[in-house]
Amino acid sequence: MKRKIGVYICECGPNIADNVHINKILEAVSSFGETDDIEIVVKSYKLLCSGEGKEYLKNEIEENKLTHLIVAACSPRDHNSTFINVCKQTSLNPYLYRMINIREHCAWIVHDKEQATERAIRYIRGGLRRVLFQTELYEKKLDINPDVLVVGGGIAGLEVALSLASPQRKVFLIEKKEILGGYAALYQSLLPRQQEARQEVQLKIKEVTNHPHIQVMTHTRLDQMIGFLGNFEVGVSSIGDSGTATDMKVGAIVVATGFSMTAISNFPQFRVRDGDEVYSALDIEGMLSEKGQIVRRSGDAPKSVGLIHCVGRDERGYCSRICCNAMIKIAGQIKAQDASIKVSAFIRDLCLPDKMDQDFFKEVKAQGVEFIRVQDIKSDGLRVQYTGMDMHSVNADFDMLVLAPAMEPAEGTAGLASDLGIPLHETGFYQEAHQTINPVATATDGVFVVGAAHGPKGITDSVLQAQAAAAKIMSMLIPGEKIIPEVKVSEVLEAFCMGCKTCLEVCHYGAIVFDEEKSISVVKEAICRGCGNCAGSCPSGAIQLKHFTNPQIYQEVIEALR
């Protein structure tokens, strides 16, 4: 069959045109395939990505009846999809097109014009050879389920559920405890505005429980999950005697399992015996919520309170973000209870990141709370022993000590991560897909992590992330619309597969399954992300990555190096 390849060299204004000899490239490229039954059409154009450029390209494809297309221009990261869309408007399959980068990879980095021209010619010839080995690929459209499963009924989970639930989208909310609200429901006051937090959270809980499109299952845990974005199948069961199991189909899963507090007993440098008036910040929150004031076990108020910040920061390796504010709040509340109580806060650094935090700190300090920066600190009962910044060692005795321990991942995090196939960060919290580009997603498309489960944070930030995840889900899973899974996926050539299972070990998306009967590996195309790990690791060469097959890569390299 006669093949006609169109090669369009974009001048990219002066970017490419000034740095290579366009006419030399045109000449060199037109001689390609003189020996084969391949016809080459090669032209240059000022700016292919412009409106006119795209229209020009579309006409060229149709008028010349091109069977293959090469665009030699900028980086595919910039405009690969631009030209794919041009192809889609014609009868040319977009996978018979290849974009060659002669800007970032050539014109912009090779300063000798002759050398740059030579390189551009080689790249283009390589692409020309490669494109002949490319085959048509067809995108599929898959039905999706717009419903969402939220794991965890704390403030983040409640927020996600409320943001997403609608007549077209049902939300299933499972919570392992028997009540909703998580830690936020325990707090009497929320920083920095000192509002009645419990009331706010209770309102949210009520809204969720009464919502017509949210199904709440308390005392329930996740058993297993299979599937992919838009098509997950999840099994949950009730904790406790009945153990009733329920299966559901959802399109996305949001993990909002929160945190737990490290026990003070984990830190041998803070010796606490039974009966000692030593509390964690959370204990004090509880005491304030219940009794409205700080009291010792004996019933009378302490005359002096020592607050020790950063308990566990060194051991865990991270700052827990909310404790400084929480401890300053507690200090302020103690002073409000009785200004004569001596309050000393032992700090390492102060973490006061939000816009109202500095003023709040100043306010509390003005009430007479002493802030002492220490190099190291330990305690034995109610005696605090610390080394100040002046290197002097000091002993200080108090009637009560409050320690701020580190936040850590909630119990069961590792197990859930494994069930969902998502990785953990080295701190033990869930790992996000990308810190800045994709901060609420995970390595598994369709599984999100929000709130303290992702890392230490307070209520505000948890709500922020919850809304972000909800927004992502709303744009990815539009009720009634289909999704197009990745087309450039791996495939296992049955004839060559020897069933050694090496590919199964290197696939981190769970996209390969083993057919026990045939003793071969099979790729689940809808989950495959086309990373190519399997193709690279297969000892038999039985796995090919579509659009990046061995012949395609090999031929491109051979031709470029001729």
Partner 1 sequence: MGADPHCGAEISVEKETGKTILNFLKHMLNQKLIDGLLMPVMVPSGDSYAWILMKDSTLVDRANPLAPVMPVQGAKALKSLTRKGKSDMTVAAVMRPCEVKAAVELSKLSQVNLDQLILVSYDCPGAIPLEMYSQDPAGKESHFRSMIEGKQFEEDSVKPVCQFCTDFSVPASDLHFALAGEEGSKPVIVSCSEKGSSLMDKMGLKTSHDLTPWENRVEEIRKAKSKKREEIYKTVQHMVEGFDNLLDTFSDCIGCHNCQSACPICYCRQCYFDSKEARPEARFLLEQAEKRGGISFPQDKILFHVGRMSHMSLSCVSCGLCSDACPVSIPVARIFSYVGSQTQKAFEYDAGKTAGEALPMKEYKMDELQEIHEMIKSAESGEVPHE
Residue in 404, 408, 445, 468 with CA at minimum distance from that of residue 528: 445
The least distance separating partner 1 from the CB of residue 41, rounded to whole angstroms, comes to: 23
As a whole number of angstroms, the distance between CA 375 and CA 455 comes to 26
Rounded to 5 degrees, φ, ψ at 227 are 115, -160
Residues that bind partner 1 (CB under 8 A): 35, 495-502, 505-506, 516, 519, 537, 539-541, 550-551, 554, 558, 562
The least distance separating partner 1 from the CB of residue 91, rounded to whole angstroms, comes to: 30
Considering the complex, state which of residue 81 and residue 554 has its C-beta at the smaller distance from partner 1: 554
Q: How many helices (H) and strands (E) does the chain have?
A: 16, 28
- Is 294 in contact with 279 (CB distance < 8 Å)? no
The least distance separating partner 1 from the CB of residue 495, rounded to whole angstroms, comes to: 7
The least distance separating partner 1 from the CB of residue 522, rounded to whole angstroms, comes to: 15
Considering the complex, state which of residue 13 and residue 541 has its C-beta at the smaller distance from partner 1: 541
- Is 262 in contact with 316 (CB distance < 8 Å)? yes
The least distance separating partner 1 from the CB of residue 511, rounded to whole angstroms, comes to: 17
The least distance separating partner 1 from the CB of residue 504, rounded to whole angstroms, comes to: 9
The least distance separating partner 1 from the CB of residue 542, rounded to whole angstroms, comes to: 8
Considering the complex, state which of residue 108 and residue 133 has its C-beta at the smaller distance from partner 1: 133
Beta strands in 102-170 (DSSP E): 148-151
Considering the complex, state which of residue 127 and residue 446 has its C-beta at the smaller distance from partner 1: 127
Considering the complex, state which of residue 145 and residue 555 has its C-beta at the smaller distance from partner 1: 555
As a whole number of angstroms, the distance between CA 196 and CA 178 comes to 23
Residue in 263, 236, 231 with CA at minimum distance from that of residue 247: 236
The least distance separating partner 1 from the CB of residue 117, rounded to whole angstroms, comes to: 21
The least distance separating partner 1 from the CB of residue 497, rounded to whole angstroms, comes to: 8
As a whole number of angstroms, the distance between CA 122 and CA 90 comes to 28
- Is 256 in contact with 208 (CB distance < 8 Å)? no
The least distance separating partner 1 from the CB of residue 317, rounded to whole angstroms, comes to: 17
Considering the complex, state which of residue 245 and residue 498 has its C-beta at the smaller distance from partner 1: 498
The three-class DSSP label of residue 560 is helix
Written as six digits, the tokens of 527 are 């989950």
Beta strands in 202-261 (DSSP E): 214-218, 220-228, 231-238, 245-250, 252-255, 259-261
- Where is 126: in which H helix or E strand? helix 113-131
Residues 6+ apart with CB under 8 A from 124: 7, 9, 25, 29, 70, 72, 100, 102
Considering the complex, state which of residue 33 and residue 286 has its C-beta at the smaller distance from partner 1: 33
Among all chains, which residue has been given the structure tokens 């209770």?
A: 202
As a whole number of angstroms, the distance between CA 532 and CA 433 comes to 18
Considering the complex, state which of residue 434 and residue 501 has its C-beta at the smaller distance from partner 1: 501
- Apex 37 CA angle, 97 and 560, nearest 5: 55
The least distance separating partner 1 from the CB of residue 537, rounded to whole angstroms, comes to: 7
How does DSSP assign 475-536, residue by residue?
Answer: HHS-TT--B---SS-EEE-TTT-----HHHHH-SS--EEEETTTTEEEE-TTT-----HHHH
The least distance separating partner 1 from the CB of residue 118, rounded to whole angstroms, comes to: 16
Rounded to 5 degrees, φ, ψ at 49 are -80, -5
- Is 276 in contact with 268 (CB distance < 8 Å)? no
Considering the complex, state which of residue 301 and residue 500 has its C-beta at the smaller distance from partner 1: 500
- Apex 131 CA angle, 496 and 83, nearest 5: 125
> How many CB atoms lie under 10 A from the CB of residue 55?
12
Written as six digits, the tokens of 450 are 């929000």
Burial (CB < 10 A; 0-12, 13-18, 19+), residue 221, is: middle
Considering the complex, state which of residue 35 and residue 475 has its C-beta at the smaller distance from partner 1: 35
Considering the complex, state which of residue 13 and residue 551 has its C-beta at the smaller distance from partner 1: 551
The least distance separating partner 1 from the CB of residue 516, rounded to whole angstroms, comes to: 8
Considering the complex, state which of residue 33 and residue 479 has its C-beta at the smaller distance from partner 1: 33
Considering the complex, state which of residue 35 and residue 435 has its C-beta at the smaller distance from partner 1: 35
Written as six digits, the tokens of 89 are 């408007």
Omega within 30 of 0 (cis) for the link into 192: yes
